[in-house]
C-alpha cells in the first residue's frame, strides 16, 4: 500500500478522527464526571487539539519508519501502532486533565485509562477503516487515470 501521504491528507485524517472522537466522548465524560457538557466539551476539545497534533507527528514518524524498514501493515503492526500512539498521548494528556479537572495526576491517569479503554479499539478500527477506504480510493483513481 502507498503510505506516502501529503500533509493535507494527514490534516484531513486527524480532523475526521478527532471530530468523531469528541462527538463520542464529550457526552459520556459529562455524564460520568457529572459535569456540565460545556466543561466536558472544552476538555475533550483541548485533548483533541493535543491529540490531533500528536496524530500528525506520530503518523509521519511511523510512516517514515514503515517505509525505511519496509514494514507491512499486518494486524500486529496495527496493534503496535495503536499502542505506541496512545502511550505517547497518555504522557501528554494526563497533566492537562489533572490541571483542568483539579485532580491529582494519579486520578487523571485513572480517568485516562478509562478513556484509553475506548480509544485503543477506536484508534485501531478507525485507522483500519481509513486505510482500507484510502486504498480503495487510490486504486479507483489509478484505474480512472489509466
- Max Cα distance, the chain (Å): 59
Cell 506516502, residue?
Answer: 4
Q: Which residue has the cell 486504498?
A: 135
Residues in Cβ contact with 104 at an 8 Å cutoff, skipping those fewer than 6 apart:
98
Q: What is the pLDDT along the chain (146 residues), one digit of tens a residue?
A: 566 778 888 888 888 988 999 999 999 999 999 999 999 999 999 998 998 889 889 989 999 999 999 999 899 998 999 889 988 999 999 999 999 999 999 999 999 888 888 888 998 899 999 999 999 998 998 888 87
Tell me the H-state helices in 1-146: 7-33, 37-68, 75-100, 105-145
Domain locations along the chain: 8-145
Amino acid at each position: 500500500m502507498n503510505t506516502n501521504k501529503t500533509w493535507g491528507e494527514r490534516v484531513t485524517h486527524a480532523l475526521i478522527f478527532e471530530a468523531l472522537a469528541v462527538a463520542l466522548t464529550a457526552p459520556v465524560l459529562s455524564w460520568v464526571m457529572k459535569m456540565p457538557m460545556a466543561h466536558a466539551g472544552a476538555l475533550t476539545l483541548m485533548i483533541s487539539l493535543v491529540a490531533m497534533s500528536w496524530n500528525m507527528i506520530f503518523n509521519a514518524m511511523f510512516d517514515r519508519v514503515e517505509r525505511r524498514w519496509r514494514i507491512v501493515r499486518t494486524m500486529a503492526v496495527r496493534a503496535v501502532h495503536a499502542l505506541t500512539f496512545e502511550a505517547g498521548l497518555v504522557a501528554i494528556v494526563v497533566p492537562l486533565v489533572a490541571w483542568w479537572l483539579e485532580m491529582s495526576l494519579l486520578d487523571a491517569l485513572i480517568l485516562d485509562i478509562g478513556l484509553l479503554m475506548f480509544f485503543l479499539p477506536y484508534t485501531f478500527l478507525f485507522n483500519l477503516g481509513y486505510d482500507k477506504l484510502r486504498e480503495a480510493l487510490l486504486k479507483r483513481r489509478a484505474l480512472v487515470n489509466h
